[in-house]
Amino acid sequence: LCRKYNECNKELGSTGAGLMAEDLRAHPNTKKLVNKILENFPWWEDLHGIWRDNPAYNMVFSTADPGQGFSADASL
């Protein structure tokens, strides 16, 4: 299950793999991907609700915050 789940997440990319399924369905591009994933792996959404934030199971998502300002913090 874990391998198949991660294969599906690779289709979403690192940002999409970390978002909740509801958020992915809110955008037309990712909604199409989610629907495609569910056709081939109907358990993805249930597993994503459990494994989304767990790096032991979701090896694709990124924990980086796009709003982080490391350069601003470094100048202090």
Contact (CB, 8 A) for 5 and 55: no
Q: CA dihedral in degrees (42, 48, 54, 60; nearest 10)? A: 80
Q: What is the pLDDT of residue 44?
A: 96
Number of domains making up the chain: 1
In a domain, 67, yes or no: no
Q: What is the pLDDT of residue 41?
A: 97
**pTM for the model:** 0.76
Note down the domain range covering 10: 2-51
In a domain, 59, yes or no: no
Give the 3-state secondary structure of residue 51. helix
In a domain, 64, yes or no: no
In a domain, 72, yes or no: no
In a domain, 29, yes or no: yes
pLDDT along the chain (76 residues), means of 10: 93 85 92 95 96 90 58 55
Contact (CB, 8 A) for 33 and 41: no
| Rounded to 5°, angle at Cα 11 from 9 and 13 | 70
Q: What is the pLDDT of residue 34?
A: 94
Q: What is the pLDDT of residue 2?
A: 93
